[in-house]
Amino acid sequence: DTGVSQDPRHKITKRGQNVTFRCDPISEHNRLYWYRQTLGQGPEFLTYFQNEAQLEKSRLLSDRFSAERPKGSFSTLEIQRTEQGDSAMYLCASSSTGNYGYTFGSGTRLTVV
Amino acid sequence: EDQVTQSPEALRLQEGESSSLNCSYTVSGLRGLFWYRQDPGKGPEFLFTLYSAGEEKEKERLKATLTKKESFLHITAPKPEDSATYLCAVHFSGTASKLTFGTGTRLQVTL
């Protein structure tokens, strides 16, 4: 068990570019979550998967954001036409059904310049 | 709207000086309350889950308690390595699986 892995750790992109992040959850966990955290704030919920099904999305997840979890394994979060307001730490977490003590990854820090 | 409020925002303690952090939440139906520790540049690390008023959990120098409207994280005789941001999160009824986080308490423990 190597924990939750996120790639890349850091991403700097120009405004208007598309970016994609990857998350590899703990293998036996069927639930996967994406959160966003800005400086001095707690993580904010973006979306949640149970296996390959995306079951809940936050209002924060605008049309420019899309997440997938093909085959219920790894997940990707794509942001299209990035804006400076998208700069944040994007956190992935996983858990098993009925256990809400998530295991978080170390996050991907996105800077939009 | 479901809300989670943590206080104080920041706390500076000397080594060995015990204190408590507070987490209060809107009472709209609690399914679980969670405490996490977050070090700079890292993701939150799970500490405790509490489900019902009166419940207590302990781990080393940390003890979490829960009432009907708030939770406390007691830190006994802290050490410098306890310095971190402590986050409280709540799973509210009717919100499927998401957690609502507070803004955290930044704890600094000095020698």
Q: What is the mean pLDDT of each run of 10 residues along chain B (111 residues)?
A: 92 97 86 94 94 94 94 97 97 81 97 93
Query: Rounded to a whole number, what is the distance in Å from the CA of A27 to chain B's nearest CA?
Result: 18
Q: Do A100 and B4 touch (CB under 8 A)?
A: no
Q: Are the beta carbons of A94 and A29 closer than 8 angstroms?
A: yes
Please say whether the beta carbons of B31 and B50 come within 8 A.
no
Query: Who among A40, A42, A101 is closest to B49 (CB)?
Result: A101
Task: Provide, as residue numbers in chain A, all residues whose Cβ is less than 8 Å from the Cβ of B36.
Answer: 104
Mean pLDDT of A14-42: 96
pLDDT at A1 (0 to 100): 54
CB pair distance less than 8 Å for A42 and B42: no
Residue pair A10/A109 in contact (Cβ under 8 Å)? The answer is yes
B32 contact residues in A (CB cutoff 8 A): 100
Burial class for B41, CB neighbours closer than 10 Å (0-12, 13-18, 19+): exposed
Mean pLDDT across chain A: 93
As beta bridge partners, residue A103 has A94
Q: Which residue has the higher pLDDT, B17 or A62?
A: B17
